[in-house]
Amino acid sequence: MPSILVTDQSGNERSIASPVGGALMEVLRNEGFDEILALCGGNCSCATCHVYVDPDRLAQLGEMSDDENDLLDSSDHRQTNSRLSCQIIVTEALDGLAVVIPPEG
């Protein structure tokens, strides 16, 4: 089971074990990261599951869709390493991935 290092909005880090095959958004919600609202339920239509991904690992996630890109444009906190966690499918290759939950707003 891949290990994902998550930094919450308060700066607290926690390593979580993530099952393979599901969306990172679901894993984060199941692990109690309440900052991940995921209001659309993972349908790539709200951007409330925004995370910053370790820039060195972005290429492993593949290209983002136009919809994801448009939704991230609506965030005041978008960075070059921003992704929607509902669009990140956990694989064994993501073991050791680090993500940060950005500020709200």
> Distances in Å between the alpha carbon of 57 and those of 54, 80, 103?
5, 12, 21
Cα–Cα distance measured from residue 39 to residue 43, given in angstroms and rounded to the nearest whole number: 9
- Report pLDDT digits (tens) over 4-51: 999 999 999 999 999 999 999 999 999 999 999 998 888 899 899 999
Per-residue pLDDT tens for 78-95? 999 999 999 999 999 999
Judged by DSSP in three states, 99 sits in: strand
pTM: 0.94
Residue 31: is it exposed, middle or buried by C-beta count within 10 angstroms (0-12/13-18/19+)?
middle
